[in-house]
Amino acid sequence: MKSAVVIFPGSNCEMDTVLAIEKISGRTPEKVWHKDSLPSDTDLVVLPGGFSYGDYLRVGAIAKVSPVMQSVQRHAEAGGLTIGICNGFQILLECGLLPGAMMRNRGLHFVCKWTNLKVTRNDTPFTRFSKDVLHIPVAHATGNYFVEPGKLQEIEDRGQVLFRYCTPEGELTDAANPNGSLNSIAGITNEQGNVLGLMPHPERAINKELGSADGILFWESVLGAQTVSTP
Amino acid sequence: MQPQVEITPEIVAEHGLTPDEYQSVLSILGRVPTITELGVFSVMWSEHCSYKNSKPLLKTFPTEAPHILQGPGENAGIVDFDDRLAIVFKMESHNHPSALEPYQGAATGVGGILRDIFTMGARPVALLDPLRFGDPANPRTRHLIRGVVEGIADYGNSVGVPTVGGECCFSPSYDGNPLVNVMCIGTIEKDKIIRAVASGAGNLVVYFGNATGRDGIHGATFASTELTEESEEKRSAVQVGDPFVEKKILEATLELIAAGVLVAIQDMGAAGLTCSTAEMAGRGGMGIDVSLDLVPQRAENLSAYEIMLSESQERMLAICTPEQLVNVEKILNKWDLEAHVLGTLNDTGMMKISHAGEVVANLPADQISENSPVYEREATKPAYMADLPNANDWRPDTDVDLKSEWLAFVASANICSKKWIYEQYDHMVQTQTTTSPGDNAAVLTLHGSDDRLAITTDGNGLYCYVDPCEGGKLAVAEAARNVACSGARPLAITNCLNFGSPLKPEIFFQLSKAVKGIGEACRALNTPVTGGNVSLYNENQNGAIWPTPVIGMVGKISAPTKALKGGFPQAGLEVYLLGRSHSNLGASEYLHWKTGDAYTPCPECDLAQEAALVEILVEGAREGILSSAHDCGVGGLAATLSECFLWSPTNCGAELELNAAEPNLTGVCNVIFGEAAGRVVVSLHPDREEDFLRLCTRYRMELAYLGKTIEEDKLTIAFPTGPVAFSRDELASAYYSMESIFPSTEADVPMH
């Protein structure tokens, strides 16, 4: 599988993401500068975390019109695997590749801490593993997921919610929700299931010494997924 | 153009220059300075840039050892780490700007220290923030802490450098004059180090980064005077930060250095363009000729004086050969930055500045940067130190309930967990952080190295107030203990010396004694000083702050040794206390909390014992003898044992016994709240007990057996006065209560 990590000015998790993909797949992903386009044979594209364009205007708003995003959009619409982590998730929302929007965290502060994620299904390219609670950290100020009630029902009914904040035992409680997201949502896919946005950072959870290796399950699932070629 | 101003004695005084200093200016120039030149001397000879009042003291620090690659005098110090990597580190203060505008003051402090690190070619890998605030109940304190923490968070998080540790202490002594110190650590391949020394006549002077505005004019001189009511009006001296530009200049600078297209580079920090041109030229014995018309400007009609003194943030000054300019431009353009060639280097040794067709300054560069005035100030022992009351005279109330006392103390602002602060900092980005901020030291794995880096910051203003020499030693000793508790060998220190006005003999006494103590401890522990920062004139309406030297220390855990943490890792371990078993309440946080006045003699620092402790911890970690280690510092055993228990996994507790010299309540209070120095609580597997005891005997370490860790979520301690037991929940709700002191629902009242 050929993967690519997009770098915007202000991205700051791109190296962590590159290292995670390298460690799990043994292959170095293409680093794609925001002024360029994705290589045509890309199977997986990751928009990493950070503060693209300094979060100016609104999180993800300027990245949306960055040159690279036209090819990302084409890749995603053609069914190519696409992941947005943290700021990457915010960018996917801005582009309309995923439904909903992000609000400022409920506590109004940036929050960096370990969270537990309930995995809702194991039949997607991102979750082909049996563990149902993952220990993965968050680090964001704007991760309070919102979508209008009717749409929320739709994405729930279609099984688009892949990850929810929970207790270590897998219970959904208010205290386990770090930002006030609706239905404790931490990660969702598009209707087709090939585009994933998630606020937690699986690239930060690939080494027990750093707190958890649960992210390896996620990356193994994604990187071992059936490749879908882009036109 | 420069303003046509006649240089009167009043103008000279306004620039913070003494009549004697002005005489030196006249003799250096052989004429009356222009107003721009006066401004240049004013900032370059401020304490912040010249260390004129502290230089004779700082010279006494030990600065050399085989592992020190760069000592004081550069943008940052450098220590050898492994075959390939070196560690670049430095600490700075941003106290005065933060007192007036906490958010921007703290944010730009982070920006400045990051630039000190990456201008040497190092990638910043960690930040630590030692903070001091006034009384937590004071609304001004609440405004300051919110702003400072948010400023640090927004800047550091955005640039993508994890904030992995620091400290936060409160005392009315810091009311109105908070301390905001920032330490940054970077890594560099040893053969890639670049220094800020200009060379090569005909080489180009290239400016990039933010345009220049009016912000921060006279920041450096402002940082060298006392805060008064009028300071509030000097708000324009506070700069405004933009972390997005910082991130771009960081990446661009590292790319420029990696590509080998630069001769030298320096950031424009304190004293802006003045300091960067004078220092780079001065260090290299070069002359520099620049035109201010070529400086990108974001305000209209800036005078030469303003351009030279502006402290607009995120600006860099580089030297490159004319041939390399095209390559420099290519890299800068990639990051949407522009190269502005301001002028050239020459052999004249003169710093020549022109603006609008006029030479506005023409000065010998080395005279202003390297030959600033130096003063030997007068020191007088303050009267209050003469007869401090004995802490042994203090008696607890006879009806005090030990358990509720312990819980209330653990919930107090100085002892409770600082999670409320550090969860606002991204402490994990770059995926090298193995510890939660708050543990002994921050421990980082470094990409490309098998060894682990340990970092800590420590300092205790109360100890230094009652005994600055002993306090200075204790700050270094505590830092070494924290680094060693993680299993690391201490390597070197940087420091930030936060004091009042050196013109007052009592304050200069504090400064000189603290420097003496720090130097002695650094010699004893083989941790040379690689640089640092002096922040003087920290005073408010009530006088000087507690003298507060803060030590930043780095250490190394050699592979394959695993880092130790402070929490008990599992049940079934033996628990010991290394160091003196008995203690009193002298200068303790408990007395400070209880009575508001803890001015009693501080613990004594036994440097030989501290050095032995380091050896035991390093060897104990290396040989796998120790399972955990946690320093016993501020808050005594009450704080340490609470943390050992709360940082353990659930279903792991401890059953301990503490003896007291006096088998009564007073004795027990001394044991649990006393802060005798040189103590560490360790746990170890029963199989390793024999090795452990042999190790302690070899270093003649005093020790006491405390008990065992158990498979129950409970901390039980038997005292001569009876047992006390805590469940995890009750202790946790006290310890993790900082949010209730600073609730996020409370409206922030700026109180400008």
* Nearest in space to B166 (alpha carbons), one of B91, B70, B58, B262: B91
Domains in chain A (CATH in brackets) are 3-223 (3.40.50.880)
Question: What does the block give as tokens for B554?
Answer: 């780095």
Dihedral of the alpha carbons of B317, B321, B323, B327, in degrees to the nearest 10: -30
For residues B576-581, give the mean pLDDT: 93
Q: Kindly write down the DSSP assignment for every residue of B544-605, as one continuous string.
A: EPPPEEEEEEEEEE-TTPPPP-SS--SSS-EEEEES-S----TT-HHHHHHHS---SPPPP-
Instruction: Find, in chain A, the residue whose alpha carbon is nearest to that of B435.
Output: A210
- Average pLDDT along chain B: 92
Which residue in B331, B431, B746 has the most chain A C-beta atoms within 10 A of its own C-beta, making it the best mutation to test that interface?
B431
The helix or strand, by DSSP H or E, that contains position B717, with its residue range, turns out to be strand B714-719
* Nearest in space to B315 (alpha carbons), one of B213, B219, B224, B217: B213
On chain A, the residues whose CB falls within 8 A of the CB of B433 are: 210
HEC-encoded secondary structure of B340-360: EEEEEEECCCEEEEEECCEEE
B645 Cα distance to chain centroid: 29
* Cβ-contact B243, B426 below 8 angstroms: no
Which residue in B255, B426, B647 has the most chain A C-beta atoms within 10 A of its own C-beta, making it the best mutation to test that interface?
B426
Instruction: Find, in chain B, the residue whose alpha carbon is nearest to that of A36.
Output: B334
Amino acid of residue B127: L
What span, in angstroms and rounded, lies between the C-alpha atoms of B750 and B143?
6
Task: Indicate the SS3 state at residue B643.
Answer: helix
Contacts of B200 (CB under 8 A, 6+ apart): B263, B319, B321, B345
Grade residue B271 by pLDDT with cuts at 50, 70 and 90: confident
Question: What does the block give as tokens for B493?
Answer: 């220190």
Please check the confidence at residue B9 and state whether its pLDDT lies above 70.
Answer: yes
Per-residue model confidence (pLDDT) at position B742:
85
From the list B158, B247, B423, which residue is nearest A111 (CB)? B423
- Please, what's the largest Cα pairwise distance for chain B? 85
What span, in angstroms and rounded, lies between the C-alpha atoms of B706 and B576?
5
Grade residue B748 by pLDDT with cuts at 50, 70 and 90: low
Closest chain A C-alpha to B457 CA, distance in angstroms: 21
From the list B158, B424, B431, which residue is nearest A210 (CB)? B431
Question: What does the block give as tokens for A66?
Answer: 């960055």
pTM of the model: 0.95
Weakest-pLDDT range from A70-74, B282-286, B391-395, B414-418: B391-395
Task: Give B311-335 pLDDT, tens digit per residue.
Answer: 899 999 999 999 999 999 999 999 9
* Strands (E) located in B190-257: 204-209
Q: Which residue has the higher pLDDT, B376 or A92?
A: A92
What span, in angstroms and rounded, lies between the C-alpha atoms of B307 and B295?
8
Question: What does the block give as tokens for B733?
Answer: 């709700």
Instruction: Find, in chain B, the residue whose alpha carbon is nearest to that of A48.
Output: B429
Per-residue model confidence (pLDDT) at position B221:
58
B225 Cα distance to chain centroid: 20
What span, in angstroms and rounded, lies between the C-alpha atoms of B179 and B202?
43
Strand partners, B72: B74
Bin B534: left if φ > 0, else alpha if -120 < ψ < 50, else beta: beta
CB atoms within 10 A of CB B365: 25
Eight-class DSSP state of B179 = E
> Which residue reads 């042994």 in tokens?
B392
Task: Give B215-251 pLDDT, tens digit per residue.
Answer: 877 655 555 566 555 555 554 567 889 999 999 999 9
CB contact under 8 A, A12 and B150: no
For residues B476-492, give the mean pLDDT: 98
For residues B281-298, give the mean pLDDT: 92
* Nearest in space to B132 (alpha carbons), one of B535, B559, B687, B688: B535
Dihedral of the alpha carbons of B274, B276, B278, B280, in degrees to the nearest 10: -170
* Strands (E) located in chain A: 3-7, 30-33, 44-47, 81-85, 101-103, 111-119, 133-140, 144-146, 161-166, 185-189, 195-198
For residues B558-563, give the mean pLDDT: 95
The helix or strand, by DSSP H or E, that contains position B12, with its residue range, turns out to be helix B9-14
On chain A, the residues whose CB falls within 8 A of the CB of B243 are: 51, 54
What span, in angstroms and rounded, lies between the C-alpha atoms of B38 and B33?
6
Helices and strands counted in chain B (H then E) = 26, 27
Task: Give B621-644 pLDDT, tens digit per residue.
Answer: 999 999 999 999 999 999 999 999
* Nearest in space to B245 (alpha carbons), one of B318, B327, B162, B315: B315
Query: A55 at the B interface (CB within 8 A)?
Result: yes
User: Between the ranges B193-202, B547-556, B743-752, where is the mean pLDDT highest?
Assistant: B547-556
Which residue in B152, B428, B746 has the most chain A C-beta atoms within 10 A of its own C-beta, making it the best mutation to test that interface?
B428
The catalytic residue positions of A are: 86, 201, 203
Strand partners, B490: B555
Grade residue A226 by pLDDT with cuts at 50, 70 and 90: very low
Instruction: Find, in chain B, the residue whose alpha carbon is nearest to that of A7.
Output: B335
Per-residue model confidence (pLDDT) at position B235:
46
Distances (CA, A) of B240 to B112, B151, B311, B626, B683: 12, 11, 9, 48, 48
Task: Indicate the SS3 state at residue B392.
Answer: helix
| Chain B residues in contact with chain A using a Cβ-Cβ cutoff of 8 Å | 150, 153-154, 157-160, 242-245, 247-248, 334-336, 422-434, 445, 447, 744
Contacts of B456 (CB under 8 A, 6+ apart): B128, B165, B440, B441, B442, B479, B482, B483, B552, B553
Task: Indicate the SS3 state at residue B29.
Answer: helix
* Cβ-contact B53, B500 below 8 angstroms: no
Task: Give B117-144 pLDDT, tens digit per residue.
Answer: 999 999 999 999 999 999 999 999 999 9
Please check the confidence at residue B662 and state whether its pLDDT lies above 60.
Answer: yes
CB atoms within 10 A of CB B341: 17
Task: Tell me the count of A-B CB pairs closer than 8 A.
Answer: 90
What span, in angstroms and rounded, lies between the C-alpha atoms of B407 and A10?
44
CB contact under 8 A, A112 and B428: yes
Please check the confidence at residue A227 and state whether its pLDDT lies above 80.
Answer: no
* Nearest in space to A140 (alpha carbons), one of A49, A208, A230: A49
Per-residue model confidence (pLDDT) at position B233:
52
What span, in angstroms and rounded, lies between the C-alpha atoms of B454 and B588?
27
What span, in angstroms and rounded, lies between the C-alpha atoms of A50 and A10?
6
Question: What does the block give as tokens for B293?
Answer: 């018309």
* Cβ-contact B391, B586 below 8 angstroms: yes
Backbone phi, psi, residue A47, to 5°: -95, 115
* Nearest in space to B589 (alpha carbons), one of B481, B463, B467, B469: B463
Q: Percentage of chain B surpassing pLDDT 90?
A: 79
Question: What does the block give as tokens for B134?
Answer: 């006034």
* Cβ-contact B732, B653 below 8 angstroms: no
Residue A221, Cβ density class (10 Å: 0-12 exposed, 13-18 middle, ≥19 buried): middle
ipTM confidence = 0.95
Task: Indicate the SS3 state at residue B246.
Answer: helix
* Cβ-contact B461, B547 below 8 angstroms: yes
CB contact under 8 A, A10 and B153: no
Per-residue model confidence (pLDDT) at position B752:
43
For residues B446-474, give the mean pLDDT: 97
CB contact under 8 A, B423 and A51: no
On chain B, the residues whose CB falls within 8 A of the CB of A61 are: none
Weakest-pLDDT range from B8-17, B166-175, B638-647: B8-17
Weakest-pLDDT range from A117-126, B172-181, B363-372, B656-665: B363-372
The helix or strand, by DSSP H or E, that contains position B54, with its residue range, turns out to be none
Within 122-161 of A, beta carbons closer than 8 Å to B belong to 137, 139, 141
